[in-house]
Amino acid sequence: MILLGCLLAFSVAVAPRLVLILAWIFSERWPLVWQEAWILPLLGIIFLPYTTIMYMLAVTITPAGPTVEGWAWLWIFLGVFLDIAKWGQMLANRREAQAQVMRYYD
């Protein structure tokens, strides 16, 4: 069982969007968490994949609907931090690539 948890964590780190698409297709938890909504999860897959994964893991299903309580918010904030770090690293890589191109084709 530990191997499956490690495999899941590795796949989320490598390809979070692929994991979310597979969860959308095959997971029994997806309809319980999103309740027939499709635009918000789709935007989450496109722009904030780590936050969407953390929300899927942190939400508690109650008769009143999905809720996030207490320390579960910490996981969602971790997802937001990971998404911001990813976008920041992408922008830094783009600036570095443009600087290298300008050095060679100046």
**Per-10-residue mean pLDDT, the chain, length 106:** 83 93 93 92 96 95 91 96 97 96 87
Question: How far apart, in whole angstroms, are the C-alpha atoms of residue 57 and residue 96?
Answer: 35
Q: What pairs with residue 66 in β-bridges?
A: 61
pLDDT of residue 44: 95
Task: Write the burial class of residue 33 (CB in 10 Å: 0-12 exposed, 13-18 middle, 19+ buried).
Answer: buried
Residue 67 C-alpha from the chain's centroid: 18
Total-model pTM: 0.87
pLDDT of residue 65: 86
Question: How far apart, in whole angstroms, are the C-alpha atoms of residue 24 and residue 89?
Answer: 27
pLDDT of residue 8: 86
pLDDT of residue 51: 97
Query: 10 Å Cβ neighbour count for 17?
Result: 13
Query: 10 Å Cβ neighbour count for 1?
Result: 5
pLDDT of residue 70: 93
